[in-house]
Amino acid sequence: MRFGVLTLPMVAWGDLVEQWRYLEELGFDAIYVADALAHPRDASQRWFDAWVCLATLGQVTDHPRIGPLVTSIIFRDPAAVVNAASPFTRYRTGGWSLRSGRVTQAPTTSCQRSPHGCRASDATVPRRRCV
Query: Percentage of residues in the chain with pLDDT exceeding 90?
Result: 33
The residues spanned by each domain of the chain are: 4-103
Question: How high does pLDDT run on average in the chain?
Answer: 76
Strands laid side by side in the 30-34 sheet: 4-7, 30-34, 65-69
Backbone angles phi, psi at 14, to 5 degrees: -60, -35
Residue 92's pLDDT band (boundaries 50, 70, 90)? low
Strands (E), 1-131: 4-7, 30-34, 65-69, 71-72, 100-101
Q: Where are the alpha helices (DSSP H) in 1-131?
A: 13-26, 50-60, 78-91
Q: Average pLDDT, stretch 118-128? A: 41
d(CA 84, CA 50): 12
d(CA 93, CA 58): 9
- What's the burial of 78, exposed, middle or buried (CB within 10 Å: 0-12/13-18/19+)? exposed
